Amino acid sequence: MKISQEVKVGLLAVIALAMFYFGFQFLKGSDFLSSDTNYQIIYDNVDGLTKSNAVTLNGLAVGRVKAIQILQGQANKLLVTVAIDKDIKVGKGTRAVLADGGILGGKVIELEIPQITTLLAPDGMLVAAKEAGLQALIREKTLPVLNNVDSLTKNLNLIVKSFDHTAGVLNATLQNASRVTGTLDLTVQENRAALQTTLGNVNRLSASLIETEKQLKPILAKVDNVADSLRTLELRATLANANRTVANLQGLLAGIQQGKGSLGKLTSDDQLYSNVNATTASLEKLITDLRENPKRYVHFSLFSRKEKAAKPGSVTTSTSTVTATKVDSTQMP
């Protein structure tokens, strides 16, 4: 039987439409040929989870999101149905953690299967859990920074306001500085000739001082040499005199120790010492007797009398006669 060209085209179109439909349903999460096991999860908020998002176990994709329904009778909670590979054994108490799928966005459901004691029946309920997403972390870390930035902005505004008065003061200061600079320029222009003359004089004075310094250096060197020589000579002469003085003192002390000279005899001759002591004692007695009995030694006469022949040892005057009686050593007490 011969098939016409129109029938062939019609069959091809039907096959294409069927493939397109089943492919579209597969992309939406419907797998007609799959034998996965379905489980259910109830979330308060799925944070953008959609059909066909992956279900992972330790980072390995073991399933996909099959359907999402709104439970309006339960405060608009969301019932999520996931299809998990039948080879994965899911026990009771398995947690389905809603987490970020990556930096670029997207959501995945991560399974945390505890030690299995009892298997979860198909269409059983998994324990819902949520992980803090990247946006939540960014929000958590960014809010304090934004608060600090806000406080910093307020402080900067206060500082800027306080600078208003400071700016006025600075403007006045700069104007005064400008006037002072203009005055200085005018003063310099008026006294430029005098300043040039002064600078020339200073330059000449500097040159003269340099020449004078060159001339004074040899003189100062000679003066230093002469001073050193004088100090050397004076020190030598002083040392020589000191040596001679010490030698003379040593000789004098040696003579005294040997009994030479008056001091030597006085220190070495006991008889001379005794005679000096006796003479001193006799002199002391004589002075004492002279003080106590002056008439015995001196005679005063206030009236004049005839001059007699002068006796040896007497002195005669016109108003009075003073006779000095020779002191006999036997009359001394």
The three state secondary structure string of 123-169 is CCECEEEECCCHHHHHHHHHHHHHHHHHHHHHHHHHHHHHHHHHHHH
**Residue 209's pLDDT band (cuts 50, 70, 90):** confident
**Residue 109's pLDDT band (cuts 50, 70, 90):** very high
- Which range (129-143, 156-170, 206-220) has the least confidence? 129-143
* Mean pLDDT computed over 131-154: 72
From residue 280, how far is each of 64, 272, 285, 286, 329 by CA, in Å?
Answer: 150, 12, 9, 10, 15
Is the pLDDT at 266 greater than 70, yes or no?
Answer: no
* Mean pLDDT computed over 53-57: 92
Return the pLDDT at 127.
93
Return the pLDDT at 22.
78
- Which range (29-43, 140-154, 204-218, 315-329) has the least confidence? 315-329
Cα dihedral 210, 214, 219, 220, rounded to 10, equals 70
Alpha-carbon gap, residue 129 to 85, rounded angstroms: 21
Return the pLDDT at 128.
92
Return the pLDDT at 239.
81
Give per-residue pLDDT as tens, 73-91.
Answer: 999 999 999 999 988 999 9
Alpha-carbon gap, residue 36 to 55, rounded angstroms: 12
> Which structure tokens are listed for 333?
């007490």
Best mean pLDDT range from 14-23, 65-74, 137-146, 259-268: 65-74
Best mean pLDDT range from 26-40, 97-111, 140-154, 295-309: 97-111
pTM of model > 0.75: no
Return the pLDDT at 33.
55
High-pLDDT (> 70) share of the chain, %: 76
Is the pLDDT at 155 greater than 70, yes or no?
Answer: yes
Return the pLDDT at 322.
40
